[in-house]
Amino acid sequence: MSKAKVIFHVDMNSFYASVEMAYNPSLKGKPIAIAGNPEQRKGIVVTSSYEARAEGVKTTMPLWEAKKLCPSLIVIRPNFERYREVSAKIFRILTEMTDLVEPISIDEGFMDVTDTQHHPVDIAHELQRTLLERLDIPCSIGIGPNKFLAKTASDMKKPLGITILRKRNIEEKLWPLPVEEMYGVGAKTAEKLRKMNITTIGELAQTDSYTLAQLLGVNGERLIQRANGHDNRVIDPDSVHDFKSIGNSETLPEDVTDVTEVKNVLSRLSEKVADRLERRKLAGKSVQLMIRFNDRTTITRSRKLESFISALEDILLVAFDLLEEHWDGTSIRLLGVTMSDLLEKDEVLEQLSLFTYEQALKKSKRDETLDKLKEKYGKETFPNLVQEEHTAPKKLLSTSFQKDFLDDFKTK
């Protein structure tokens, strides 16, 4: 009989803010936010301390709104090099306890401690103490028999929580929660589920798999399995290298020339890519379309964008454009959509705050003024002001934690 798995999900608490407080202890206990352009009160909140969150400050909130909610808010520009350096030290500490460590972002990862000699709760307490003593970084740890339950458990108590979620506890602890709080259920999926009167994780767990498959495809069966506490994914220390690109392809059962059918396939593929980007908290800057024709000839065509995207609508817009540009109506046997040039969304937010938020603010003020003038003098009074000049962001960062981090900490 195989030994029951013991999986940790280790999640740093308010990571960027915690790093800044460790670097400058005078910030401890104060409401702080990590955001761009603090001198001009512009930018977007990337993350904030728990003291700031208590005042209503939230991630992605415009900085002016955060300052309005919390006048004493201390705003700090992000220092991603510093965060990467601390992250590497964190994961080296995790690997001192087990080789089976799987980083999934700059501030969270899974550990398999099944074969570790000590009690899991003792290991968790020791890990928290070590991170605090060596790096002054707090974390929450979820303990479960698989990745899903461990991840769910780590979200149940923050900061500095240690939570165990066993399969026998899911009816009591997991099922009463709203369905949108389930890991792997995004806003769009939650909306679809609510239209089926599925409002809690328990209702999802008891839904007929065939019915849900009609709505969500293979992801429907996966969500039902997770809601019932089942997750067979193993801890893979090398999986961090797998995210240079994210793509999906589909071989069609027969040759297709109908444009509507082709676009339906592209829609399905783009949705899968968007879901995977969301789960990994990534965005991409290049979209690639692959077409294999009925004579086995294959072409790949890509477009590099000026800004990062992750939403289904944005991916699909580029994929459709590439299709129109490069497909002449020849019978298609396979289609694929891939996102590359990936970056963590936290870093994308920083770039947005530094380079595009000011333009967005100017546009908002201009539109407000223009609306007032049109209301007073008539809609046709200012015909030359309807076109918006788009300013491209400056060159963005081209590397991500997924690409460069693991090699750094393994070689040190």
Give 5-25 pLDDT, tens digit per residue: 999 999 999 999 999 999 999
**How much is the pLDDT for 250?**
86
How many angstroms separate the CA atoms of 99 and 62, rounded?
41
Res. 274: pLDDT tops 50: yes
**How much is the pLDDT for 376?**
57
**Where does the pLDDT of residue 237 fall: very low under 50, low under 70, confident under 90, or very high at 90 and above?**
confident
pLDDT for 239-254, tens place per residue?
A: 665 556 888 888 888 8
Tokens of 311: 């939403």
Among candidate residues 108, 271, 278, 350, the one labeled active-site is 108
Res. 286: pLDDT tops 80: yes
**Distances from the Cα of 96 to the Cα of 90, 127, 229, angstroms:** 10, 10, 29
The 8-class DSSP code of residue 200 comes to B
How many angstroms separate the CA atoms of 19 and 33, rounded?
12
**Where does the pLDDT of residue 395 fall: very low under 50, low under 70, confident under 90, or very high at 90 and above?**
very low
Average pLDDT, the chain: 84
Strands 32-35 and 162-164: unpaired
Query: Which of 344, 25, 23, 43 lies closest to 33, judged by CA?
Result: 43
pLDDT for 147-199, tens place per residue?
A: 999 999 999 999 999 999 999 999 999 999 999 999 888 888 899 999 999 99
Q: Where are the beta strands (DSSP E) in 322-403?
A: 332-340, 343-344
How many angstroms separate the CA atoms of 35 and 63, rounded?
7
| 5 contact partners, CB below 8 Å, separation of at least 6 | 112, 114, 145, 146
Long-range own/partner contacts, residues 215-220 (CB < 8 A, 24 or more apart): 216/189, 216/192, 217/268, 219/189, 219/275
pLDDT for 339-354, tens place per residue?
A: 988 887 766 665 555 4
Tokens of 278: 């969301």
Res. 135: pLDDT tops 90: yes
29-33, 84-88, 260-264, 356-360: least confident range: 356-360
CA 116 to chain centre: 31
**Where does the pLDDT of residue 386 fall: very low under 50, low under 70, confident under 90, or very high at 90 and above?**
very low
**How much is the pLDDT for 248?**
87
**How much is the pLDDT for 377?**
56
Residue 231 burial (CB count, 10 A): 21
- Percent of the chain surpassing pLDDT 70: 80
251 bridge partner residues: 334
Query: Which of 12, 74, 15 lies closest to 41, judged by CA?
Result: 74
Do the beta carbons of residue 43 and residue 13 sit within 8 Å? no
**How much is the pLDDT for 33?**
94
CB contact burial 322-343 (16+ within 10 A = b; e otherwise): bbeeebeeeebbbbbbbbbbbb
Active-site annotation holds for 108: yes
Q: Is 92 exposed, middle or buried (0-12, 13-18, 19+ CB in 10 A)?
A: middle
- Percent of the chain surpassing pLDDT 90: 56
Domains (range + CATH), the chain: 15-80 (3.40.1170.60), 175-227 (1.10.150.20), 240-346 (3.30.1490.100)
Do the beta carbons of residue 222 and residue 228 sit within 8 Å? no
Length of the chain: 412
**How much is the pLDDT for 373?**
61
How many angstroms separate the CA atoms of 7 and 13, rounded?
19
CA dihedral over 170, 171, 173, 178, signed as positive or negative: positive
Q: What are phi and psi of 113, to 5 degrees?
A: -110, 20
